[in-house]
Structure 1
């Protein structure tokens, strides 16, 4: 199969028939073999009934219905598991992503050799105050912290080589950082394409301002897990040792001062309590790293690695 299209959705009953017909028209024009997975993330309208009707008329359309709302990351993860295409394309269900972009996104994966191609909505129709400015700040921060240089990290319109989506897991709000996760899993050929951003035709946006707070926390989690998930002592042990050394150094300085100038009492100087606090925190951080190391070394996936190629000429 050439293409799997994954469409996470919640309460998008008005747009689904038009979206499905548009995708089918593009696929037929370019003679792609394809499937569309519509993931109903706990809709309270008639979205699932519409999906069933579309699937009855078009066997290429398939659906997954969550019992309740779990979030976009969960919907994408289930779609990734179910997909069978060589190239996987994700898009939103609100018709703000154009299926006409599919052929070029497919070509960039198959012919140009990209592992992942992210859409860039260069011209947007969202509110400048509530969407554009926060999005620019979010993209700038993510780029600086992760080293993945994309203008629109959160664009829902992306294409992936099959091996990429079968090698990653997304949860929480981590769908925003799939390019970051992919890069840290060794998929470094990440491209970008300017795509059309259409004004919302039906309904209202399902995302609030809290996504920026959750997004920052998830980025911190991804960075920690990717760099120190298998060696937590390297982070906590280093921080704990540094903190303990600073505290011990201050305490030693105060002790020398007391010996040299007997009139000073160590416990009467505020810096003494700072030294004590630094040594306690240092010890706790070190023990946290030690416990984390014990947990990691006993985890069943401690020696699981992504292998690209095995060359053994004796077989």
Structure 2
């Protein structure tokens, strides 16, 4: 693959995640190196009011595979994903949350399912959640309602870990 066309674009929308970003990037770098993938990581800062943007800039200085988009204010995850997809140059786009609950170790299998098995979309599923009950119960209700209404048997509609052709 040429430098302009990586195997994988990883799009990470974020809001106030300064503490998790260095660990997330180090984890991604390890997985990419172990699998010899060419890649880019596109951090989309959704108007953070912490030091997330400064951290992203320092990560970019240390790794040219890091690209970044910065919103002046908070527009929400959908806007972040949209802009990340627009900027992505990879053959496969992987989305993940910045809070370390999505494991970069899953990337090789997601990539394989898209490139070898021919899926256009592969969705992750958070079997173990580390969120408070006030967040998990509404999520279970939403997922059950969405499955019933759509007929799509997807366990976790809101899981940030997905792969797209």
- Same fold? TM cut 0.5: yes
SS at the partner of 1:107?
Answer: helix
For normalisation by structure 2, the TM-score amounts to 0.94
Q: Which has the larger radius of gyration?
A: 1
- The equivalent residue for 1:288 is none
* Pair 1:140 & 2:132 matched: no
- The alignment's C-alpha RMSD in Å is 0.9
Q: Which runs of 5+ in 1 are unaligned?
A: 162-315
Q: CA deviation at 1:134?
A: 1.4
- The equivalent residue for 2:93 is 88
Q: Which has the higher contact order (CA 8 A, sep 6+)?
A: 2
- The equivalent residue for 2:155 is 151
Q: Deviations over 1:110-140 (max 9, x none)?
A: 1111111111112222223x12221111011
Q: Deviations over 1:37-56 (max 9, x none)?
A: 00000011111111111001
Whole-Å separation in 2 of the counterparts to 1:108 and 1:35: 19
Equivalent positions of 1:83-232 (< 5 A) are 83-128=88-133, 130-161=134-165
* Pair 1:75 & 2:76 matched: no
Q: CA deviation at 1:143?
A: 1.3
SS at the partner of 1:120?
Answer: coil
Q: Which runs of 5+ in 2 are unaligned?
A: 1-5
Aligned residue-pair number: 160
Higher helix share: 1
Whole-Å separation in 1 of the counterparts to 2:137 and 2:70: 34
- The equivalent residue for 1:42 is 47
1:24 to 25, 29, 46: 29
Whole-Å separation in 2 of the counterparts to 1:145 and 1:9: 29
1:7 to 12, 20, 30: 12
- The equivalent residue for 2:3 is none
Q: Deviations over 1:5-59 (max 9, x none)?
A: 0000011111111111110111011000000000000011111111111001100
Q: Deviations over 1:285-308 (max 9, x none)?
A: xxxxxxxxxxxxxxxxxxxxxxxx
Higher strand share: 2
For normalisation by structure 1, the TM-score amounts to 0.50
